[in-house]
Amino acid sequence: MKHTITLIPGDGIGPEIIAATVRVIEATGVDIEWQTHILGAQAQEKYGTTLPESTIDSIKQNKVALKGPQMTPIGKGFTSVNVGLRKALDLYANVRPIKALPNVPCRYPSLDLVVIRENTEGLYVGLEHTVVPGVVESIKVITEKASTRIAKYAFEYAVANGRKKVTAVHKANIMKLSDGLFLECFYKIAKDFPEIEADDKIIDNCCMQLVMRPEQFDVLVLENLYGDIVSDLCAGLIGGLGLAPGANIGEQGAVFEAVHGSAPDIAGQGIANPTAILMSALLMLRHLGEHAAADRAEKAMLVVFADGKTLTKDLGGTAKTDDFANAIIDKLKAGEAAIA
């Protein structure tokens, strides 16, 4: 079956890691037509808007996109196109699997957990204003609808993926109303899933526990800002941002992207690690029902990691982005027997 997928190379290291990933995905033999689109600063220059309708329409039509990181200016300039895209398509669940890879020096080589972040509200609604000079308000919006929807998604994900426990992460001791509502919705939904253990942790304690005893966690469900921060923390536990994939899921479509950003400090040098975006693309293949191709590409990637000869600079190696992709493609071409 042929799949049509919207491809957004993104900024900074985006085009480099996306090109490497497309080559690996094509080497699996899955029939894909890529429709390339742009967002952010590139789109501002070409179309006069950072979120062009042509890009949104393409994702709505294809229902699936693979997206590179987009730069967001700090403290001024345009608002985040990542947040804008998630809002425009109502991509309410951000799923970030955290699993250590062979041969990657990290704190917890056997770590295997999933961060599920509510993607549409919280402090990311962009409602900020100056009350009087020197006083700024930033409004956090928590709704029963979105909190219930993300809790339900987290439990359904746990059931579908053989997970045992879902932990809600919050600060309901201080934000009694907003985080209190999030937690209340979580426990209401938990009653419908008696086979899955449900518990909760206050965000600060959760961060400490993640650093000291992360094996106690299985699936974490968090509102937007906590999910953003905790998923980077978790990426650090398994060896860094170059290794953490992600998926933004909604009723209208799914956008697959790495947890990391555009890494301007290493852009243009061909040294970025494409693992996170490649693993996001493997999540995408599974979402499309192409499980065999995803398994083969994953096995090939794991063999390259286990060999340890072609790792990128962030993992202590000397390989370039393309060397790493070529090594995986070689394993794929060598066939199932060579990578079993």
| Catalytic-labelled residue, pool 11, 179, 228, 323 | 228
Question: What sign does the CA torsion over 47, 48, 50, 52 have?
Answer: negative
* Closest-approach residue to ligand NAI (CB): 261
* CA distances for 92 relative to 105, 147, 157, 290, angstroms: 33, 10, 14, 23
| Catalytic-labelled residue, pool 92, 108, 124, 153 | 124
Cβ atoms of 189 and 152 within 8 Å: the answer is: yes
Q: Is 273 in the site for ligand NAI (CB under 6 A)?
A: yes
For ligand NAI, which residue of 52, 69, 97, 214 counts as binding (CB under 6 A)?
A: 69
Q: Is 276 in the site for ligand NAI (CB under 6 A)?
A: yes
Cβ atoms of 72 and 80 within 8 Å: the answer is: yes
Tokens coding 340: 């079993």
Residues 12-41 that bind ligand NAI (CB under 6 A): 13, 17
Kindly state the smallest distance separating residue 17's Cβ from ligand NAI, in Å: 6
Cβ atoms of 204 and 102 within 8 Å: the answer is: no
Q: Is 71 in the site for ligand NAI (CB under 6 A)?
A: yes
Of the two residues 70 and 167, which places its CB atom closer to ligand NAI in the complex?
70
Q: Residue 150, Cα to own-chain centre: how many angstroms?
A: 15
Q: Choose the stretch contacting ligand NAI; rule: CB under 6 A; options: 101-109, 131-139, 142-150, 263-271.
A: 263-271
Binding mask 142-161 for ligand NAI (x = CB under 6 A): --------------------
Kindly state the smallest distance separating residue 91's Cβ from ligand NAI, in Å: 12
Question: What sign does the CA torsion over 80, 82, 87, 93 have?
Answer: negative
| Catalytic-labelled residue, pool 57, 199, 204, 307 | 204
Q: Is 257 in the site for ligand NAI (CB under 6 A)?
A: yes
Q: Choose the stretch contacting ligand NAI; rule: CB under 6 A; options: 19-27, 83-91, 260-268, 294-302.
A: 260-268
Of the two residues 197 and 232, which places its CB atom closer to ligand NAI in the complex?
232
Q: Is 263 in the site for ligand NAI (CB under 6 A)?
A: yes
Identify whether 228 is a catalytic site residue: yes
Q: Is 231 in the site for ligand NAI (CB under 6 A)?
A: no
Identify whether 204 is a catalytic site residue: yes
- Give the Cα separation of 281 and 164 in Å (integer): 26
Identify whether 124 is a catalytic site residue: yes
- Give the Cα separation of 311 and 130 in Å (integer): 48
* CA distances for 224 relative to 67, 99, 170, angstroms: 20, 21, 11
DSSP 223: -
Q: Is 234 helix (H, G, I), strand (E, B) or coil?
A: helix
Instruction: List, in order, residues 6 or more apart from 199 with CB less than 8 Å away.
Output: 165, 167, 168
On the CB side of 7, how many CA atoms lie within 13 Å of its CA?
Answer: 20
Q: Is 320 in the site for ligand NAI (CB under 6 A)?
A: no
Q: Is 6 in the site for ligand NAI (CB under 6 A)?
A: no
- Give the Cα separation of 153 and 147 in Å (integer): 10
Q: Is 260 in the site for ligand NAI (CB under 6 A)?
A: yes
Kindly state the smallest distance separating residue 42's Cβ from ligand NAI, in Å: 13
Tokens coding 284: 């995408």
Site size for ligand NAI, by CB under 6 A?
21
Residues at the interface with ligand NAI (CB under 6 A): 13, 17, 69-72, 82, 241-242, 257, 260-266, 272-273, 276, 314
Annotated catalytic sites, by residue?
Answer: 124, 171, 204, 228
